[in-house]
């Protein structure tokens, strides 16, 4: 059975879970021993990052590499489909999330834990999040999923990223604003059977984390 090392708060772990659940692949979810980046965990996953995957003698880190491995080993239902151009488009949309959009969420975490977060810093990242999200919207045409009628690898990271944004932005007086056309796409994602449990787990983990910090 595949072992996935991760945490319920992680968008990149959620991204892999969606693929596993959509393809009906049995897996075991494990917390990194002694926490990620620990010496114990690095003995399993050299980079010490999450998610990490162990499948027999295959050991991988990086969500994108893990998901493409799963796609190649379990090609049905396909999540990287169509012509060479369509597959390249799916990869592009997935990397826009990982490279240009999600990092602005991650930048908020050290700030919202402070008694007095740097509001200007936070608002700057939220502005950039929305700017990059608008660029993503311009490159995408959901129908109802981001690459057409079927869930693709480019859809998988977004549902929990939106949960993070929805719950973090109000801490500094802002809110998530979806560009035209993306609200229905988000609704379609949240209703997908492979996505629902991942979003629920993420939201629960976010509530617990925020309560522990006195943010709720």
| 2-37 pLDDT per residue, tens | 999 999 999 999 999 999 999 999 999 999 999 888
| Domain containing residue 114: CATH number | 1.20.1050.10
Where does the pLDDT of residue 199 fall: very low under 50, low under 70, confident under 90, or very high at 90 and above? very high
Same domain assignment for residues 43 and 133: no
CATH of the domain at 43: 3.40.30.10
Q: Where on the phi/psi map is residue 141: left (φ > 0), alpha (ψ -120 to 50), or beta? A: beta
Task: Tokens for 98, please give them.
Answer: 């990982």
Burial 144-176 (b: 16+ CB within 10 A, else e): ebbbbeebbbbbbbbbbbbbbbebbbebbebeb
Range of the domain at 129: 84-212
Q: Is residue 67 part of a domain?
A: yes
How far apart, in whole angstroms, are the C-alpha atoms of residue 203 and residue 8?
9
The per-residue pLDDT for range 39-83, each reduced to its tens digit, is: 999 999 999 999 999 999 999 999 999 999 999 999 999 999 999
Q: Is residue 112 part of a domain?
A: yes
Of 12, 42, 73, the one marking the end of a domain is 73
Instruction: Tell me what pLDDT residue 184 has.
Output: 95
State the greatest distance between any 2 C-alpha atoms of the chain, in Å, as a whole number: 51
Domain-terminating residue out of 73, 95, 120 = 73
CA-to-CA dists, residue 36 to 5, 48, 79, angstroms = 9, 5, 28
Return the closest-CA partner of residue 161 out of 202, 126, 128. Answer: 202
How much of the chain is in helix, strand and coil states, percent to nearest 5? 55, 10, 35
Contact between residue 156 and residue 67 where contact means Cβ atoms under 8 Å apart: yes
Q: What is the mean pLDDT of residues 79-89?
A: 96
Together in a domain, 186 and 123: yes
Residues in the chain, total: 216
Mean of pLDDT values over 149-175: 97
In this structure, the answer to whether residues 68 and 107 fall within a common structural domain is no
What per-residue string of b and e applies to 55-78 under the rule 16 or more CB within 10 Å gives b? beeeebbbbbebbbbbbeebeeee
Whether 14 and 89 map to the same domain: the answer is no
| pTM for the whole structure | 0.95
Number of domains in the chain: 2
Residue 165 shares a structural domain with residue 196: yes
Residue 110 included in any domain: yes
Whether residue 203 sits in one domain with residue 134: yes
Mean pLDDT over 187-197 rounds to: 97
Domain boundary pick from 45, 73, 101: 73
């Amino acid at each position: 059975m595949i072992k996935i090392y991760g945490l319920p708060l992680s968008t990149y772990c959620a991204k892999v879970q969606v693929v596993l659940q959509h393809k009906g692949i049995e897996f075991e979810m494990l917390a990194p021993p002694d926490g990620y980046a620990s010496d114990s965990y690095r003995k399993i996953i050299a980079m010490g990052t999450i998610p990490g995957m162990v499948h027999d003698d295959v050991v991988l880190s990086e969500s994108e590499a893990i998901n493409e491995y799963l796609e190649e080993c379990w090609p049905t239902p396909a999540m990287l489909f169509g012509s060479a151009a369509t597959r390249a488009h799916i990869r592009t949309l997935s990397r826009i999330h990982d490279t240009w959009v999600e990092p602005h969420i991650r930048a908020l975490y050290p700030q919202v834990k402070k008694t007095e977060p740097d509001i200007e810093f936070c608002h700057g990242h939220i502005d950039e999040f929305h700017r990059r999200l608008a660029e993503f919207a311009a490159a995408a045409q959901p129908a109802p999923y981001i690459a057409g009628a079927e869930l693709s690898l480019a859809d998988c990271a977004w549902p929990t990223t939106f949960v993070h944004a929805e719950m973090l932005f109000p801490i500094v007086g802002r809110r998530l604003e979806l560009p035209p056309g993306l609200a229905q796409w988000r609704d379609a994602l949240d209703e997908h059977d492979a996505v629902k449990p991942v979003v629920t787990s993420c939201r629960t983990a976010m509530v617990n984390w925020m309560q522990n910090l006195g943010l709720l």
